[in-house]
Chain A
Amino acid sequence: MSNQQNNYYTSRRQQNWSRNQNTTRFVSSVKLGPVAHTVLVALMITVLGLIYLTQATRTTGYDYESQKIDSQIADLNNQKSDLQIENARLTALSTVKDSTVAREMTTPSSTAYVQQ
């Protein structure tokens, strides 16, 4: 019976983890059991749910804010329209004709023209 020994070449890279890689392994001393895991997962789900609810409520809050601003814009537009109408009434031809200034005006007896 012959005893045959095979020699395989192994590179240094294969011998180590790999170049530039931390080969130190940290092992936490805190041990979590299955109950703690379940509680943590439940807490994470709860937190995510709360975040979702907060965001959803926030967008709805913006809707109310937007509605309030729209209402203010409509109000201001109404006021602007009222003022424009009042301005149009005050500058209407009949108002101008009936003004005291207009009543005191006289028709010129003659008109001269300057040649341009």
Chain B
Amino acid sequence: MKLELLKGSRTRILAAVILAIVAIFVVRLFYLQVIKHDYYVGLAKAEQESRFVIPASRGEIYAKNGTDPVPMVMNETVYTVFADPVTVDDKAKVVDTLRQVAGGNVRTDFDKLLDNKNSRYQVLANKLTRVQADKIKAVNLHGIGFQAVSQRVYPEGALGAQILGFVDTTGQGQYGLEGYENGVLKGVDGYLQAVTDVSNVPLTIGNDNISVPKQDGKNIVLSVDRNVQSHVESALAAGLQKNGAKKGSVLVMDPTNGKVLAMANLPTYDPGNYGQVADVAAFNNDTVSAPYEPGSDVKTYTLATGIDKGVVKASDTYNNTDHIKIGDITVSNATLGHTGNITFQTALTWSLNTGFVTIAERLGDGTNITKSARDVMYDYFHNRLGLGSLTGIELANEAPGTVIAPDDPSGDGNAVRYSNMAFGQGLDATLIQVASGFSALVNGGNYYKPTVVDGYMTDSGYKQNPTPAPLRANVVAKSTSDQVKQATHDARATSFGKTDKAGYYIGGKTGTSQVIINGQYSSTETVGTYLGYGGGSEDAPRYVIMVQVSGADQLLGGAQDALPIFTDISNWMLDYLKIQPKG
């Protein structure tokens, strides 16, 4: 018997229906699995995979303790305690525990925050240590969570605050080294993309896992010696208390390599509490970011230029009448009475402006500060010794200052300006520029780029940078350098030598600069400075120190107000560096 489905039979209809349903399934599955393949694969990945940013650790900052690095800025993990008021079931226990463990870290009225049932996130306490967080975790409070945050800590407190700078709430370095070297300190975050389980634990299954390791920031070692820095800050504070100056800055450098040993400014701030500073001007490091008219300190530059060009020696004489006419202006000495034929050494010792205007004239035709004289002065002051140009020190917000070139289109680089520049007016420079140029004048004639970075801390230990080479060698001849050292030594010895420790070779120059207010030199405000060096003998200056004191509506002098601070630091440095007296 031959079996076959009869046309129109129920079985045949059922077969057709099943076939139709299967066809629908096939079409639908084709649509889902082939046409919409990428879309659903994407959805599945989004569900199964997680992406994690692995934060890089910010580099730490070290100072020197003699020759060993010691930490100045470190990273500490602190914890923020937050609550979900809706899920907190034992408010009394939470309040009691936080009061006992977190103490002063809890927010004011944090217990009332727990009553805010409209919110799912309330911060109860900030900056808890790991130990405090562990104690709270051990109590197992329901509805309480912890968030770990890395913050900068300063074991040395406010020491060297304006060198260091700080890190703001967005993780960016501001001011000082933190600002300048932000990219180096910050490092590069890592990245992990992986299939995770329900607890967000990354699993090795899957083909699309990506792991990019983090690169921690570099740990920088400063050339700053914490002992020198500490003494400099104390000496500056004591000096300002004594002379009543509102502001002060001190810079200590090694003239043989440009390394900064200390850099201090007052007023200052605590980088651990930078948000509480009353005046943001305290963030500025005035030694690098506040150009001013350096005044008589620059006379050492003029003398060096004259000696190096062979137009004068310190022992040469000129006729001092206490006044000298340049064009239609008359330049007078601040100290009167040393008239007649006097040496340039006497002019330096008594800081007589006429002597240095005379040197500028002798660089020209002998009676005029000619264009060639101005070109020579600009070459020495600006090109060779770095006044009015950025030094490139590794600190944020360095200001270039201004030295107007003789051929400046404004016509301001004329003889009158250069007569003023000969004794330190009519140009703007920072302390770091003046001290770096002076270092070249006393170290034998080599200009070193000033630096605050001495090396890096690596996993294998301290890696010191190679010994710096001069940025510009022989900016003045060795013989010129020797004569400038002798002249500044004699200038100091004549009036202030008794304050120095016996047997050492100390030299320096006072500076008292008038301040320009509303385009005019003020008669009620002056800035006092002292720029000098010290060492065991004339052959080896071991340090250069520059001191500046200033204040609005204050008449401050280099000899009376800045020099005592120099002397204090200089005498201490002789002991600290274990320099033996000559003879």
Q: Chain A at the B interface: mostly helix, strand, loop or mixed? A: helix
Interface stretch, picked from B19-27, B149-157, B173-181, is B149-157
Is the CB–CB distance between B201 and A59 below 8 Å?
A: no
Residues of B within 8 A of A78 (CB): 77, 130
Chain A: residues with Cβ within 8 Å of the partner, total of: 24
Hey, which chain A residues are within 8 Å of B75, CB to CB? 81
Q: Is B202 an interface residue (CB 8 A)?
A: yes
CB pair B71 A84 closer than 8 Å? yes
Report yes or no: B580 in contact with A113, Cβ–Cβ below 8 A: yes
> Is residue A64 contacting chain B, with contact meaning CB distance below 8 A?
yes
For chain B, which range describes its interface: under 10, 10 to 19, 20 to 34, or 35 or more residues? 20 to 34
Assembled-state Cα–Cα distance A85/B73 (Å)? 10
Whether the pair A88, B205 counts as a contact (CB closer than 8 A) is no
Tell me, rounded to whole Å, the shortest Cβ–Cβ distance linking A64 to chain B. Answer: 6
What chain B residues lie within 8 Å of A64 (beta carbons)? 201
Q: Give the residues in chain A near B130, CB-CB below 8 Å.
A: 78-79, 82
Question: In residues 222-271 of chain B, which contact A (Cβ within 8 Å)?
Answer: 226-227, 230
- Which residue of chain B has its CB nearest to the CB of A67? B201
Which of A56, A63, A89 is in CB contact (< 8 Å) with B155?
A89
Q: Contact at A82–B156, with CB atoms within 8 Å? A: no
Q: In this complex, what residue of B is CB-closest to A108?
A: B575
A111-B575 contact given A81-B77, A82-B129, A91-B70, CB 8 Å threshold: yes
Binary contact track B198-235/A, C-beta < 8 Å → 1, others 0 = 00011111000000000000000000001100100000
**Judging by beta carbons under 8 Å apart, are A63 and B202 in contact?**
yes
Of the candidates B131, B155, B197, which one forms a contact with A92 in the assembled complex, judged by CB atoms under 8 Å apart? B155
B581 CB–A CB distance under 8 Å: yes
- In chain B, what residue has the closest Cβ to A94? B157
The distance in angstroms between the C-alpha atoms of A111 and B576, with both chains bound, is 12
Complex Cα distance, B501 from A113, in Å, reads: 14
Given A59-B205, A111-B575, residue A85 in contact with residue B227 (CB < 8 A): no
Say yes or no for A26: interface residue by CB 8 A criterion.
no
Q: Which of B76, B204, B230, B581 contacts A113 (CB 8 A)?
A: B581
> Contact between A93 and B156 (Cβ–Cβ < 8 Å)?
yes
Residues of B within 8 A of A8 (CB): none
Cβ of B71: which chain A residues have Cβ within 8 Å of it?
84, 88
Q: A60-B203, A113-B580 are in contact. Are A85 and B155 (CB under 8 A)?
A: yes
Q: Does B95 contact A (CB under 8 A)?
A: no
How far does the Cβ of A87 sit from chain B's closest Cβ, in whole Å?
A: 9
Q: Are B159 and A85 in contact (CB under 8 A)?
A: no
Cα distance, A91 to B69, chains bound together (Å): 12
Is B290 an interface residue, CB under 8 A from the partner? Answer: no
A91 contacts which chain B residues (CB < 8 A)? Answer: 70, 155
Contacts of A62 in B (CB 8 A): 204
Give the residues from 125 to 159 in chain B that come closer than 8 angstroms, CB to CB, to chain A: 129-131, 153, 155-157, 159
Residue A115 CB within 8 A of the other chain: yes
B 178-199 to A, binary, CB cutoff 8 A, 1 in contact else 0: 0000000000000000000100
Q: How far is the CB of B273 from chain A (nearest CB, A)?
A: 16
Q: How far is the CB of A114 from chain B (nearest CB, A)?
A: 9
Known contacts A64-B201, A82-B129, A115-B580; decide if A88 and B76 are in contact (CB<8 Å). no
Confirm or deny: B74 has a beta carbon within 8 angstroms of a beta carbon on chain A.
Answer: yes
Where the two chains meet, the residues of B that have a C-beta atom closer than 8 Å to any C-beta of A are: 70-71, 74-77, 129-131, 153, 155-157, 159, 197, 201-205, 226-227, 230, 575, 580-581
27 A–B contact pairs at CB < 8 A? A59-B204, A60-B205, A62-B204, A63-B203, A67-B202, A78-B77, A79-B130, A81-B74, A81-B77, A82-B130, A82-B131, A84-B71, A85-B74, A88-B74, A92-B156, A92-B157, A93-B156, A93-B159, A93-B226, A93-B227, A94-B156, A94-B157, A94-B159, A111-B575, A113-B581, A115-B580, A116-B580
